[in-house]
Amino acid sequence: MRTAFIQELFAIAQKDPRIVLMVGDLGFGVVTPFIERLPRQFVNAGVAEQNMTGMAAGMALSGKIVFTYSIANFPVLRPLEQIRNDVCYHNANVRIVAVGGGMAYGSLGPSHHATEDIAVMRAMPNMLVVAPGDPIEARLATRALVEYEGPAYLRLGRAGEPIVHRSEPHFALGKAIMVREGNDATLISTGGLLPEVMEAAERLAEHNVQVRVLSMHTVKPLDEEAVLAAARETSALFTVEEHSVVGGLGGAVAELLLEAGLFPAKFKRIGIRGGFSSKVGTQNYLREQYNLNALGIVNTVRDELKF
């Protein structure tokens, strides 16, 4: 996803001098073409994410469209005060890009696990929260964020994520993409788990359970229409996210359903429970440990639906 993001941003930035890419002293293999071709639109802020965010806010208030970029928690939790007071309060055109959402940097331990970031950014006033499901969605989200007015958070995978969409879907911020139709249950996915969710849906079809899959690439604002339609038209809803079950996609969907007075026969948040991970390993290994791979999702659905 990060390659898709950088390539798309580079292509747009060559035609739009307002765009600035600001990094926290990383990513030089990926961003080298950007540095070489657009040196006046690139800033290396060093390992100083608070300064990076403050500079980005100032540049945005001077007419620039600034993308800050760093690993996992570093552009989110370290400079949270600057995000709140400098970016959000002033409704500045800063896009905070976190590469390695969830447990993509699993081998580096909890300091590099981004498993609370969606909840934190959802709580920030004026903040848009976007987590694409595959590289195609990452490209489309990048285009959309260039045009968007106001603060935004873009949560990306690390690298090598498979492409899910066979053709370019219609993409609009705040509108889910129905990737698979089904009337028995709905899996609502956000971020890089979309390929696992799609595989789970195919496996469930082998048991005659036809599952609707929604790629909820925008967590804030949530596509309320798509969620409520799924609650009315299918008997069970499952949210799936590589994130804590507290405050993320599952929390957003639960809040909406309760306020709307809709109560599906089954509702389950599939995500990380129990706080920090005490396990270290690859992303695939950690997904398996937390039942966030296709098999784990299938087993959770089977347990809830009793088949």
Beta bridge partner(s), residue 22: 43, 68
Tens of pLDDT, residue by residue over 154-192, are 999 987 899 999 999 999 999 999 999 999 999 999 999
Q: Identify the weakest region by mean pLDDT among 59-68, 101-110, 117-126.
A: 101-110
- CA-based angle 16:18:24, to the nearest 5? 115
Residue 5 has pLDDT above 80, yes or no: yes
Phi first, then psi: give them for residue 29, nearest 5 degrees. Answer: -65, -40
Mean pLDDT of the chain: 96
Determine the average pLDDT of the residues in 7-11.
97
- pLDDT, one tens digit per residue, over 206-260 is 999 999 999 999 999 999 999 999 999 999 999 999 999 999 999 999 999 999 9
Nearest-angstrom CA–CA distance, 219 and 188: 11
Confidence of residue 76 (pLDDT cuts 50, 70, 90): very high
What average pLDDT does the segment 37-59 reach? 97
Name the phi and psi angles at 188, rounded to 5.
-105, 115
Residue 42: pLDDT over 90: yes
Residue given tokens 């129905």 in the structure block: 178
Q: How many CA atoms lie within 13 A of 105 on its CB side?
A: 18
**Would you say the CATH fold of 177-305 matches that of 2-156?**
yes
Q: Could you tell me the pLDDT band of residue 70, with boundaries at 50, 70 and 90?
A: very high
Q: Into which CATH architecture does domain 2-156 fall?
A: 3-Layer(aba) Sandwich (3.40)
- Which pLDDT value is given to residue 49? 97
pLDDT at 125: 98
CA distance 91 to 57: 9
* Domain assignments of the chain as residue spans, ordered by start: 2-156, 177-305
Whether pLDDT at 141 is above 80: yes
Going from the C-alpha of 74 to that of each of 67, 78, 283, 299, the distances in angstroms are: 14, 6, 18, 34
As a whole number, mean pLDDT of residues 16-29 equals: 92
Is-contact 84 122, C-beta < 8 A?
no
Output the pTM of the full model. 0.97
Assign domain 177-305 to a CATH class. Answer: alpha beta
Helix, strand, or coil (residue 175) = strand
